[in-house]
Structure 1
């Protein structure tokens, strides 16, 4: 029996999100906890799954704030390093009128990039059903080496390995380097969630259907390509199926992809089947649940704060 349903390694940061204009005509930014792996774990925790975070923050105002948020969300923080030598990574998020995001990062270096191999708690990796990563831990050393070491440990322990590339252009020196590193972990991956904008960063193919087929042929067992408000494609060895969107009123799309990922991983955790034994129809049902979760997420501000509860997702599903 595994101690955790899902453990994740990567960035934990503060999203300073556009919150309007002050009386002086200046932009206001709201301090929101975020970081894709932490968002995913929070979503799962709110669906009543046991989760654990592995990563690093600074011993500063923002780092302590983030640590307290994970604890409040019942995410195990025994793998979280609070380091006085580095500042917590910050992200500044501006929103368009339709809730779409653009990012600017303070991360030179950020504490999340300074996680060292010897600081990763292998006991967490050996005691989780699913191990989840993104690509932001691959942008710099020593976190890149720590990520690969964790993947090796998790694979040997029999974990399902989940990946969300979560491409952020400003954090990479070039598109070519981003593609090289984002693709470098594919030999470990069992489940992948990517957006249609990321297809040619993860694969040589731009077309979502061609990219999904490429990943299945490569050896990934389940592929989910999100299409924003237009739903998602689902792939396994049986082929491809379209999962239609679940309507929601977009206020802030920050965290929607992570929420979708939480939805997928929650269904995999619930299943008694091996990943190889899940049918395309079952995976499409998982995507429908994940689309409903994401439709709840976009109706609130922030990333971690907008992750829905299981009850909210089920309520949304009852109206579809």
Structure 2
């Protein structure tokens, strides 16, 4: 049987971005790193499945409708009358720059559970994708571990984005320990430059890449904003410069980058040489750059 599709496990958000500097009127957007990747992959023509728990509240209905409009399969999501989808408020400062203002989660213990996962789905998918957004909560972590086991048993490519948000963790030490342990089980990992330095507790890119190489991650992608990205593979580092654009909102650029990487691995397979790997990153840089030219993480 031919396997296809990217399965994303995570938590959906509603991003409420201020319409002006009074920070009293908001534009509503679909958000969340794993959602962004699922939508990005779908827009690039890859079958995408999203796994999460949704509620019956207004935000949940907005999320479900928006995902369907993006051709995301949500048949394997679970609905609960208790669940409230999280809201993230993004405000504008006096010079017009956006900043995180408030994160609202009314049901912090409502997550997809182990017994709510459909094992059969993993037999059909090609790539499994997750982030640390389901690792700081014990219930969500157990579900993630089970999903990861299903993916490994089904010989799926495993992809992981650290996407670290320290405010969600009880300590920096716990975050480093847990994120690093899951990175070891992934075939593809994406980090920002800051996340790389944080996880390795180093001060320079060179030092951090040496230290993280001990994890033996097959493909490690490091995004560096407008400077582009690099990939560490088979003991070699390949640098790929960024693409200059007039950025309006950088939120979600890294997610667009990773969606593009996953689309290339899905469509063309594991790169056969450094030249093909570089082409994958060049394509991802382009998609990430385009994502910054409009408001919203998508």
Q: Decide: shared fold, TM above 0.5.
A: yes
1:201 Cα deviation after fit: 3.8
Could you tell me which of 273, 282, 298 is aligned with 1:288?
Answer: 282
**Contact 1:238 1:279 (8 Å CA) reproduced:** no
Q: TM-score, normalised by structure 2?
A: 0.92
After superposition, residues 196-207 of structure 1 pair within 5 angstroms as 196-207=193-204
Distance in 1 of aligned mates of 2:130 and 2:145:
10
After superposition, residues 1-320 of structure 1 pair within 5 angstroms as 1-2=1-2, 4-21=4-21, 25-94=22-91, 101-102=99-100, 104-110=102-108, 114-272=111-269, 275=270, 278-304=272-298
Distance in 1 of aligned mates of 2:206 and 2:236:
10
| Aligned Cα root-mean-square deviation (Å) | 2.0
4+ aligned runs moved over 6 Å, structure 1: none
Question: SS of the counterpart of 2:8?
Answer: strand
1:10 to 1:252, Cα distance in 2 relative to 1, 3 A:
same
1:186 to 1:252, Cα distance in 2 relative to 1, 3 A:
same
Q: TM-score, normalised by structure 1?
A: 0.86
Q: Extract unaligned runs of 5+ from structure 2.
A: none
Question: SS of the counterpart of 1:185?
Answer: helix
Question: SS of the counterpart of 2:296?
Answer: coil
Distance in 1 of aligned mates of 2:42 and 2:99:
25
Question: SS of the counterpart of 1:115?
Answer: coil
**Contact 1:183 1:203 (8 Å CA) reproduced:** no
Distance in 2 of aligned mates of 1:5 and 1:37:
15
Cα deviation per residue 1:73-130 (whole Å; 9 max; x = unaligned)? 111101211211121111122356585643531125347x521111112222221111
Pick which of 127-136 and 211-220 moved more: 211-220
**Contact 2:192 2:223 (8 Å CA) reproduced:** yes
Distance in 1 of aligned mates of 2:194 and 2:161:
13
Pick which of 67-76 and 195-204 moved more: 195-204
1:206 to 1:221, Cα distance in 2 relative to 1, 3 A:
farther
1:126 to 1:99, Cα distance in 2 relative to 1, 3 A:
farther
Question: SS of the counterpart of 2:20?
Answer: strand
Distance in 1 of aligned mates of 2:80 and 2:213:
40
**Contact 2:20 2:92 (8 Å CA) reproduced:** no
